[in-house]
Amino acid sequence: MPENCPVCHQKYEMETGFWYGTGYVSYALAVAVSVATFIAWYVLIGISVDDNRIFYWLGFNCFFLIAIQPWLMRLSRVIYLYFFVRYEDDYESTKPKEFDA
Ligand SMILES: [Zn+2]
Q: Is residue 101 part of a domain?
A: no
In a domain, 33, yes or no: yes
CA 69 / ligand 1 centre spacing (Å): 24
39 in any annotated domain: yes
Is residue 6 included in any domain, yes or no? no
Distance 93 CA to ligand 1 centre (A): 13
Quote the pTM value: 0.82
Residue 59 lies in a domain: yes
- The segments of the chain whose pLDDT lies below 50 read none
> Looking at the domain assignment, is residue 34 inside a domain?
yes
Counted domains in the chain: 1
How many Å lie between the centroid of ligand 1 and the Cα of residue 11? 9
Give the whole-angstrom CA distance, residue 88 versus residue 21: 23
CB burial of residue 10 (10 Å; 0-12, 13-18, 19+): middle
Look at residue 92 and tell me if it is in a domain.
no
Give the range of the structural domain holding residue 61, as residue numbers without chain letter.
Answer: 23-84
Residue 31: its pLDDT value, please? 98
φ, ψ for residue 57 (rounded to 5)? -60, -45
In the reported structure, the alpha carbon of residue 72 is separated from the centroid of ligand 1 by a whole-number distance in angstroms of: 21
CA 10–ligand 1 middle distance (angstroms)? 6
**Would you state the pLDDT for residue 101?**
61
